[in-house]
């Protein structure tokens, strides 16, 4: 086993995975003792469940073996404010520069559930410095991307099968302790423990101390139905003197403890008792090389806690936690102090310790633990503290728990108004605006953002310069007002964009970005940058948007949520440019970020974009599945707009496959009508609805709706929507044989798209768009437009045979895709009524298509139409028939 931990290369990862008590730590300690290379050791506890703290402890562990291996200081103030990505970069660069090989052991990784820590370790795994051998032990497999490491041969996994003792090893274990057992007794213990090392150790302890004869003990082992762990733990505990039992029961209440902590909670020296526990080897495990901090084997700890609930009354347990909270605060261990205060129901102490760390925790997106702390506070405390109530509302908004956030915002606003706390009221109001943004409710968003800005203006007017005289400049009253004001402006711009008022949104967000261009508002500046990128997409300035969004995504001073939106926006631009691999990379990066976070806001948007990328790749089943998942998640989070757009996308994909019934049902469920107002909020639905109307041969209704949508988009300056609507209008005008209008609409769409690199809006239309572009190409276009047409045709690939058939030189006029569907059904012998039922159109519409076919084919009967179509290669010939010369598409060319 020790040999398995050694490797012939440094840039490898060894993962030890197994339940508690299987000797992972002991094995690593033995290996470290005989290793020929330096070994840094970090034993984790819940207090390291934070990216910055974790990184500082890693640096400290490395410096313990050789200060020359790292230039970073665990106390470096940059660590406290850095994002997980920045922390990982700092750590990787520092380790790589050291060059000297060493190993880093990270023990008990299972205590970590913070996405930020996972992100730092994942970065280490994915960019492993050549001089590092990383060894991680955990009770379960950590959430790392291990598949790639396995493929590269850089991962060794030592699991439970390798860790458990074999029968021979169990016999050797007891013999090494001087315990003489018969072979069948060893077999009994091995069978009952399944090779579990801790169980064997506890059995040995009971045998050695001799309170029970070996024979009696072994007989009870064979016949007892109780769990081995409970049985042995009771035997261990009851043999300890009262003062040691008291030490065990009190220290087991904490995930980790020290002699100083024990003295703080009891007023008695803890060192002598700690030494007695260590000498007795009572399943106590050191957590650092200085042997200052310890924890118990988890089964022993849980047993001790159950006994403490019986032997210590509630008042005594609460007092222990209250004293511990004060001590933790004095040591600067804020997280453990808050948890202890909450467990001890010292609500005021918990609140006072939480207040200074809330903003930094939200900035780093350490939201899970923060939300749990807030939820544990009694409602009465939040009802009396508007500042804390507004911070709780913000925490829920950032997580994306929009239903609970709505209630928290209402409470915070009520409490702040009742106490006349304008700052907390403004904060809660702006939190409400952010919630409205995440739920795509632009009316409420604009109203709340403007109301929050008004409150901040009132506060600024009341502010006196001396208010900041004794205050840290970074925490000054005016700085807080400026930060909140910058955010309110960005949110107002977001609301205008969501309403479709692109021109006004651009003006507002440009001003907001300039307002936030200050050293003390870097995060708000990047939020404004991302929002400006979103607006530029709306006005089809894709190149400018791409540059801005890339800049924001790479920034270190950006909220994780804003970075995800930047990545999703980059994917959207790449998709429009048919750069599907690049779009997928941005989506994958955003997905990885979300998987490491408790934040739920952007999952529906991610799945919606993934569905469109899947569709572009031709993976239609996957596209529908992703769109449906987007709808489900959006409904759960209360974002009805995204839920509706997801349903519309499903209908659009189904319609593209000819599944008319599904699309028609969607229009009914969505409560859409041809005379709906041209409301931007439902634009995506209306665009799909217009296509459904065309499929139902209600083309006039479709064009009427699209023309109203076009006027609104032109008025608002939404160039991207103008192009999309024009493309739909071109297809509609073509159906009505209004060729002048179709040509004019196509010319305008191409002119707008050419300079902006817009491709997907055209290419997703498939064969009908190929036909139209070919017609435009034959008419002759200007240089730029002609080049763009050729690029579009190239993006759509070589013209397939089916497309070529639509332009057969013997046809008087090209056959439309719908006419081809009718022609195929005529060929199989369906009557007009049957064709109408098959295509979900009226009989009169079928007759119109048949008449058009007669004219284009130059025939006057259905039989002649089929024969002519087969002669031209528009329809396949029946099996067994013989083609005459010139009857194939190739020959006829």
Contact assessment for residue 120 and residue 50, using Cβ atoms and an 8 Å cutoff: no
Residues 6+ apart with CB under 8 A from 113: 49, 368
Summarize pLDDT for 615-645 with one digit per residue, the tens. Answer: 998 888 899 999 999 999 999 888 899 999 9
Residues 6+ apart with CB under 8 A from 621: none
Q: Is the pLDDT at 225 greater than 70, yes or no?
A: no
Among 145-154, 246-255, 753-762, the least confident range:
145-154
Query: What is the structure's pLDDT at 195?
Result: 66
The average pLDDT across 668-685 equals 93
Q: What confidence tier does 115 reach under pLDDT thresholds 50, 70, 90?
A: confident
pTM of the predicted model as reported, rounded to 2 decimal places: 0.68
The count of other CB atoms within 10 Å of the CB of residue 472 is 8
User: Would you say the C-alpha torsion 18, 22, 26, 31 has a positive or negative sign?
Assistant: negative
Dist CA 770 CA 132 (whole Å): 56
Summarize pLDDT for 47-91 with one digit per residue, the tens. Answer: 788 888 899 889 888 888 876 777 788 887 778 778 888 888 888
Dist CA 43 CA 108 (whole Å): 6
Share of the chain above pLDDT 90, in %: 39
The count of other CB atoms within 10 Å of the CB of residue 464 is 8
Q: What confidence tier does 8 reach under pLDDT thresholds 50, 70, 90?
A: very low
Q: Is the pLDDT at 434 greater than 60, yes or no?
A: yes
CA distances from 623 to 628, 653, 761 (A): 9, 8, 17
Q: Are strands 284-286 and 294-296 parallel, antiparallel or unpaired?
A: antiparallel
Q: Is the pLDDT at 876 greater than 80, yes or no?
A: no
Contact assessment for residue 434 and residue 491, using Cβ atoms and an 8 Å cutoff: yes
Summarize pLDDT for 513-551 with one digit per residue, the tens. Answer: 999 998 888 899 999 999 999 999 999 999 999 999 999
Contact assessment for residue 429 and residue 455, using Cβ atoms and an 8 Å cutoff: yes
Closest by alpha carbon to 108, among 57, 70, 65? 57
Return the higher-pLDDT residue of 610 and 886: 610
User: Would you say the C-alpha torsion 349, 350, 355, 361 has a positive or negative sign?
Assistant: positive
DSSP E strands in 89-232: the ranges are 102-107, 132-138, 155-158
Q: In whole numbers, what is the pLDDT of the chain averaged over residues?
A: 83
Among 260-269, 783-792, 808-817, 829-838, the least confident range:
808-817
The count of other CB atoms within 10 Å of the CB of residue 71 is 14
Q: Which helix (H) or strand (E) holds 39?
A: strand 39-43
Summarize pLDDT for 575-601 with one digit per residue, the tens. Answer: 999 999 999 999 999 988 888 788 888
For helices 197-209 and 214-223, what crossing angle results, to 10°?
140
Q: Which helix (H) or strand (E) holds 438?
A: helix 422-438
Query: What is the structure's pLDDT at 504?
Result: 95
Dist CA 758 CA 764 (whole Å): 12
User: Would you say the C-alpha torsion 761, 763, 769, 773 has a positive or negative sign?
Assistant: positive
Query: What is the structure's pLDDT at 207?
Result: 65
Phi, then psi, of 181 in degrees rounded to 5: -130, 145
The average pLDDT across 647-671 equals 90
Query: What is the structure's pLDDT at 884?
Result: 34
Q: Where is mean pLDDT largest: 84-98, 300-314, 381-395? A: 381-395
Dist CA 653 CA 647 (whole Å): 10
Query: What is the structure's pLDDT at 9?
Result: 52
Query: What is the structure's pLDDT at 299?
Result: 63
Q: Is the pLDDT at 266 greater than 60, yes or no?
A: yes
Return the higher-pLDDT residue of 409 and 844: 409
DSSP letter string, 805-843:
HTT-TT-SSPPPHHHHHHHHHHHTT--HHHHHHHHT--H
């Amino acid at each position: 086993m020790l040999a398995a931990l050694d490797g012939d290369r440094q840039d490898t990862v060894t993962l030890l995975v197994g339940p508690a008590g299987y000797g992972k730590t002991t094995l690593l300690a033995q290996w470290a003792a005989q290793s020929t290379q330096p070994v840094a050791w970090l034993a984790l506890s819940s207090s390291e469940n934070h990216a910055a703290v974790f990184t500082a402890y890693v640096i400290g562990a490395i410096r313990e073996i050789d200060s020359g291996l790292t230039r970073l200081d665990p106390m470096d103030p940059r660590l406290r404010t850095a994002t997980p990505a920045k922390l990982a970069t700092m750590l990787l660069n520092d380790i790589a520069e050291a060059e000297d090989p060493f190993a880093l052991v990270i023990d008990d990784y299972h205590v970590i559930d913070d996405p930020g820590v996972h992100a730092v370790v994942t970065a280490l795994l994915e960019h492993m410095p050549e001089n590092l051998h990383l060894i991680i032990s955990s009770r379960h497999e950590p959430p790392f991307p291990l598949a790639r490491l396995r493929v590269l041969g850089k991962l060794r996994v030592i699991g439970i099968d390798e860790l458990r003792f074999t029968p021979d090893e169990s016999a050797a274990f007891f013999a090494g302790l001087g315990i003489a057992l018969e072979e069948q007794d060893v077999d009994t213990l091995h069978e009952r423990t399944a090779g579990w090392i801790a169980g064997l150790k506890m059995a040995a302890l009971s045998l050695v101390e001799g309170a029970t004869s070996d024979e009696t003990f072994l007989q009870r082992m064979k016949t007892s139905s109780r769990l081995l762990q409970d049985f042995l733990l009771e035997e261990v505990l009851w043999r300890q003197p009262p003062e040691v039992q008291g030490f065990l029961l009190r220290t087991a209440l904490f995930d980790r403890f020290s002699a100083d902590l024990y003295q703080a909670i009891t007023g008695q020296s803890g060192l002598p008792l700690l030494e007695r526990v260590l000498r007795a080897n009572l399943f106590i495990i050191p957590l650092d090389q200085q042997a200052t901090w310890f924890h118990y084997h988890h089964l022993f700890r849980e047993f001790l806690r159950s006994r403490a609930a019986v032997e210590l009354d509630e008042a005594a347990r609460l007092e222990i936690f209250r004293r511990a909270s004060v001590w933790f605060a004095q040591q600067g261990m804020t997280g453990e102090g808050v948890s202890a205060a909450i467990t001890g129901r010292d609500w005021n102490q918990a609140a006072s310790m939480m207040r200074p760390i809330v903003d930094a925790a939200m900035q780093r997106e350490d939201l899970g633990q923060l939300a749990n702390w807030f939820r544990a506070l009694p409602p009465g405390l939040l009802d009396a503290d508007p500042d804390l109530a507004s911070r709780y509302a913000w925490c829920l908004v950032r997580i994306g728990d929009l239903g609970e956030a709505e209630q928290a915002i209402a409470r915070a606003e009520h409490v702040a108004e009742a106490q006349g706390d304008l700052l907390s009221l403004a904060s809660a109001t702006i939190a409400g605006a952010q919630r409205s943004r995440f739920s795509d409710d632009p009316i409420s968003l604009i109203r709340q953002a403007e109301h929050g800005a008004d409150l901040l203006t009132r506060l600024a007017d009341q502010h006196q310069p001396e208010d900041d005289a004794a205050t840290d400049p970074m925490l000054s009253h005016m700085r807080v007002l400026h930060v909140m004001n910058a955010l309110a402006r960005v949110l107002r711009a977001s609301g205008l964009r969501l309403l479709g008022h692109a021109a006004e949104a651009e003006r507002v967000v440009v001003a907001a970005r300039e307002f936030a261009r200050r050293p003390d508002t870097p995060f708000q500046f990047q939020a404004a940058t991302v929002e400006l990128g979103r607006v530029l997409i709306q006005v089809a300035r894709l190149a400018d948007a791409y540059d801005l969004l890339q800049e924001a995504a790479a920034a270190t001073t950006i909220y994780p949520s804003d970075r995800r939106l930047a990545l999703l926006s980059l994917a959207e631009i790449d998709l429009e440019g048919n750069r599907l691999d690049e779009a997928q990379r941005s989506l994958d990066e955003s997905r990885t970020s979300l998987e490491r976070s408790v934040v739920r806001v952007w999952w529906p948007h991610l799945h919606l974009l993934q569905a469109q990328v899947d569709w572009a790749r031709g993976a239609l089943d996957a596209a529908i599945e992703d769109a449906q998942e987007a709808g489900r998640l959006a409904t759960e989070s209360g974002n009805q707009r995204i839920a509706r757009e997801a349903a519309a996308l499903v209908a659009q994909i189904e319609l593209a496959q000819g599944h008319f019934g599904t699309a028609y049902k969607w229009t009914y469920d969505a409560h859409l009508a041809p005379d709906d107002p041209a409301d931007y909020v439902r634009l995506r639905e209306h665009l799909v609805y217009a296509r459904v109307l065309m499929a139902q041969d209600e083309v006039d209704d479709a064009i009427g709706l699209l023309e109203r949508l076009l006027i609104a988009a032109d008025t608002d300056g939404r160039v991207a929507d103008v192009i999309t609507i024009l493309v739909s209008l071109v297809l509609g005008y073509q159906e009505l044989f209004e060729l002048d209008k179709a040509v004019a609409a196509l010319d305008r769409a191409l002119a707008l798209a050419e300079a902006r690199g817009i491709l997907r809006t055209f290419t997703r239309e498939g064969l009908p768009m190929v036909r139209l572009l070919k017609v435009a190409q034959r008419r002759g276009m200007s240089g730029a437009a002609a080049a763009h047409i050729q690029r579009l045709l190239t993006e759509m690939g070589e013209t397939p045979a089916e497309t070529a058939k639509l332009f057969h030189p013997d046809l008087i006029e090209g056959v439309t895709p719908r006419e081809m569907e009718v022609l195929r059904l005529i060929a199989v012998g369906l009557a007009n009524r049957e064709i109408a039922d098959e295509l979900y159109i009226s009989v009169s519409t079928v007759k119109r298509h048949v008449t058009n076919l007669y004219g284009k084919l130059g025939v006057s009967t259905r039989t002649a139409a089929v024969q002519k179509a087969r002669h031209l290669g528009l329809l396949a010939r029946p099996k067994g028939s013989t083609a005459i010369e010139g009857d194939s598409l190739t020959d006829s060319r």
